[in-house]
Chain A
């Protein structure tokens, strides 16, 4: 651990050990500000025959050395610390999702209440939730026991009952887990950790039931009352056990743990950390997505509430075939402006699945991958909306007005109209050859309503910054603001439907290029230039039946921010409906692609 004061720290090295790639970034203090300066990457090396994560880290750091000219490793391959002229670094931090990340099983009494809270705790801590066991999940007890038996989780989070509430049902869950004797994923040499975060009155009985077959840790109830969630202690315990058990058994992590100046965080936990800090600092609602090869993570902070979901089998390589199976090839084809051979496409999908590291060489290959990405993102967002809900089971005081509003507990808190910032990251979004392609994929999949800023995390730096924020918040926030996000621009999209060609809205735009007015018809979108760092005053007058945020047909005035793409005035309707007829859908896509110059060659 470094003993330097925060202000003395001038060079920071951060890595993210992903399941396929280890990414390293260098942050340096320049003219009083922290800036991300160089980046290197190398294949992750947790698999046989190398089976040592630090080899991948060293390779990524060596690339940083080549690019920056700064020597970071000594001849023995150790990090040089502290920073001196032209060599070394002051802090080294890392996240990890290698080896499949942190895999958990959670259990709670009622699926929609304590089990749901337990799931939120596990997901928020960066875990992949393999299954949720609840007394009311419609499976019969022997089926649940069989399922527990088949899983090989890294740990189990057991919750259930509010404090002073049911004991019987909580003990029942423990009685299912005990005979199932699930085996830990990495070897059978250690006891499977179980975190108990349920009714405190049941803790002694749970302990007695589980006996000494498991490593039981008891933490305060994550749902002490129906009105309250207390996920912090369970999340912290998950992180502790992640380091003690999972990381300690992963190849080479014993060494990596000695190198770092802050505890290694699961990658998604670090991303959640930085997004929460930004939402809080700016007072905005944020939605973030990271689409990887195997999974897609969606993060949201709405009204200060943080949610994260992992769509375990929605991704662009390992899981690409599953995206096609879940969405259906027809749903993917509607995003493609070209005619394609179905048989050939199906084979192409499977070949990508079995050789996940390949990249599209031809334009039609790229168009197809981006169409698959739209569906993967759409499905992941759908799952996130269903999961990010207000606490279920809360007793609500209702007034006469509420009777008409028909609001109940357990509704999604994701309101696309109130979304301020949408951030995309992950290979297919970050490495898209044109920024317009990234913006279009985000808009088509998430369908933001009203006025929403779009950004991409250019090189997926959020994990590094999330873990860095633990030890040097100032550096993390400065880099986030200056280097992490690339603002694409702003999307303006009224909610509603209209006959194609009818008026959707009129607009008046007053920006650096002067004042201009115009109109957008239903079924159209218009892409207007508005540069990075520029702003413009925008007045929208929606037609009847269209809502841009102030109600149907009511005008909206706002300040819009530019970006690498500019301003997207989207009159295609919300929800976005595409023609069922493939030929009509293709023609429409051709118009949209042409307007946005998505695949134009310079």
Chain B
């Protein structure tokens, strides 16, 4: 294909950022438009319908399903307590009646004369939605959630595990390619978003969890170490719901690889600032990449041009980009930045995996690679001055602000 697909990751020193925070089911929004919120402030709340318990009353009482509605001692919609009489048989001349007691407290949701089943729903569970982005509420979706905006520094990772986490940025490594080992971590990092450098080891992750560190952001990890930390082999890259007690975000990938210099400089420059991170990753349809969001200052929407309206129903990702994006088709000028001679790129596959360089030529005709694959390529000058030929599909464009 003439238009190679090079998904670049967002790395911004200062952008206007907005996130849509929505409840999974309708509920109550607790904040107002214009209100300044902190990252861990509850902005909306709802009650998740309780667990369902099915009771086969016909079977339990040894009666036909059609008889069940006539034997019920409670009605649909009625609250019942655990141990309360739900139904009982007519017995013999009113004697020897078999009772059926409620196994849980809850509400009677349905009584079926066809199947003889009764559905009890347990008490609703509260769900509280945090702001995640410290900023200003710019829109309220009544009963659903809010849009929050702020000026932030933003780093998108390539892969993560674990959900949302918060804390001040702390540096654990002196250089972007320094491996992150247990000795880089200490008690003072409790509750922090710790920025490493190169490959993090499983030992360091366990240590971080023990120390109560909120999140680790680093360049890479060995697959073997990730397996050890997770306790299983990750089959499909859909993550974020793990309960690990620690969120991990990789900026580069798997293997011995250091964090990209620009990324490391950006994160280092914000040491001490509060950050919100999310390890959730989904590589398939509706791509979600993990992120580190560092709110920079107070945001006043009155002084800012407004965003184009986005239908929240279509906003499948937790945040929406105000401009640009991650899909960078080569040559498709109208739809975003393009790969050109002079572009700064990162090579994302062997044999030059992880190396950064500049495109010095984009030959129009496809070339045959050592693998035998015929494809369109780019000539890239690496940071050590050497020149290499790389398939365009194996290049990731690095945005230069």
Contact = CB atoms under 8 A, between A and B. Distances in A.
Given A179-B109, A319-B236, A347-B223, A47 B314 contact: no
Interface residues of A, number: 80
A351 B349 contact: yes
Contacts of B25: 183
A63 to B, nearest CB: 6
Contact of A361 (B233, B329, B390): B390
Interface string B351-382: 10100000000000000111111110000000
A361 B369 contact: yes
Contacts of A176: 54
B237 A353 contact: yes
B16 to A, nearest CB: 15
Contacts of B3: 42-43, 59, 63
Contact of B158 (A146, A175, A355): A355
A599 B372 CA distance: 9
Contacts of A353: 236-237, 283
Contact of A321 (B116, B236, B373, B396): B236
B307 interface: no
Contact of B119 (A21, A55, A179): A179
B101 interface: no
A19 interface: yes
B393 A357 contact: yes
Nearest to A41: B1
A152 to B, nearest CB: 10
Please indicate which of the listed interface residues B335, B353, B375 has the most CB atoms of chain A within 10 Å of its own CB. Answer: B335
Interface stretch (B202-210, B295-303, B319-327): B319-327
B348 to A, nearest CB: 5
Interface stretch (A186-194, A331-339, A409-417, A466-474): A186-194
Nearest to B389: A361
Contacts of B109: 179
A503 interface: no
B73 interface: no
A294 interface: yes
Interface stretch (B83-91, B259-267, B284-292): B284-292
Contact of A145 (B54, B114, B254, B320): B54
Contacts, number: 223
Given A99-B286, A294-B284, A351-B253, A361 B370 contact: yes
Contacts of A282: none
Please indicate which of the listed interface residues B25, B285, B368 has the most CB atoms of chain A within 10 Å of its own CB. Answer: B285
A355 B6 CA distance: 9
B327 A355 contact: no
B321 A356 contact: no
A304 interface: no
B255 interface: yes
A322 B236 contact: yes
Contacts of B51: 142, 146
Nearest to A317: B283
A326 B329 CA distance: 34
Contact of A366 (B237, B327, B371): B371
Nearest to B335: A50
A286 interface: no
Nearest to A43: B5
Nearest to B223: A346
Interface in A39-65: 40-43, 45-51, 55, 59, 63
Nearest to A187: B313
Contact of A351 (B24, B254, B351): B254
A350 B235 CA distance: 9
A51 B316 CA distance: 11
A357 B110 contact: no
Given A49-B324, A354-B253, A366 B373 contact: yes
A353 B233 CA distance: 13
A172 interface: yes
A318 B313 contact: no
A69 interface: no
B317 interface: yes
B92 interface: no
A362 B372 contact: no
Contact of B321 (A48, A187, A354): A48
Contact of A180 (B6, B52, B281, B327): B52
Contacts of A357: 4-7, 393
B98 interface: no
A365 B350 contact: yes
A313 B233 CA distance: 14
Given A20-B5, A50-B327, A326-B235, A59 B393 contact: no
A19 B393 contact: no
A343 interface: yes
B313 A433 contact: no
Contacts of B284: 19, 100, 294, 318
Nearest to B227: A346
B235 A251 contact: no
B372 A434 contact: yes
A188 B313 contact: yes
Contacts of B323: 49
Contacts of B281: 354
B63 interface: no
A363 interface: yes
Given A59-B332, A175-B112, A433-B373, A358 B351 contact: no
A347 B7 CA distance: 20
B222 interface: yes
A436 B25 CA distance: 54
A355 B348 contact: yes
A371 interface: no
A205 interface: yes
B110 A175 contact: yes
A203 interface: no
Please indicate which of the listed interface residues B25, B321, B350 has the most CB atoms of chain A within 10 Å of its own CB. Answer: B350
A219 B348 CA distance: 50
A168 B115 contact: yes
Contacts of A325: 233-235
A343 B313 contact: no
B17 interface: no
Contact of B115 (A142, A172, A350, A360): A172
Interface string A139-151: 0011001100000
Contact of A318 (B54, B237, B315, B327): B237
Please indicate which of the listed interface residues B158, B315, B371 has the most CB atoms of chain A within 10 Å of its own CB. Answer: B371
Nearest to A361: B369
Given A49-B324, A325-B235, A433-B373, A350 B314 contact: no
Interface in A147-176: 167-169, 171-172, 175-176
Nearest to B286: A47
B329 A43 contact: yes
B373 A431 contact: yes
A349 interface: yes
Interface in A351-384: 351-363, 365-366
Give 4 nearest A-B pairs by CB, closest first. Answer: A433-B372, A187-B313, A322-B235, A49-B325
Interface of B: 1-7, 24-25, 49, 51-54, 65, 109-110, 112, 114-117, 119, 121, 158-159, 222-224, 226, 233-237, 253-255, 281, 283-287, 311, 313-317, 320-321, 323-327, 329, 332, 335-336, 348-351, 353, 368-375, 390-391, 393-394, 396
17 contacts: A19-B284, A47-B287, A63-B2, A100-B284, A175-B117, A181-B49, A209-B112, A319-B236, A325-B234, A343-B224, A347-B254, A349-B223, A350-B254, A354-B237, A357-B4, A361-B390, A366-B372
Given A20-B5, A350-B226, A363-B370, 10 more contacts: A48-B320, A49-B336, A50-B327, A167-B114, A313-B235, A321-B233, A358-B348, A358-B349, A366-B371, A433-B371
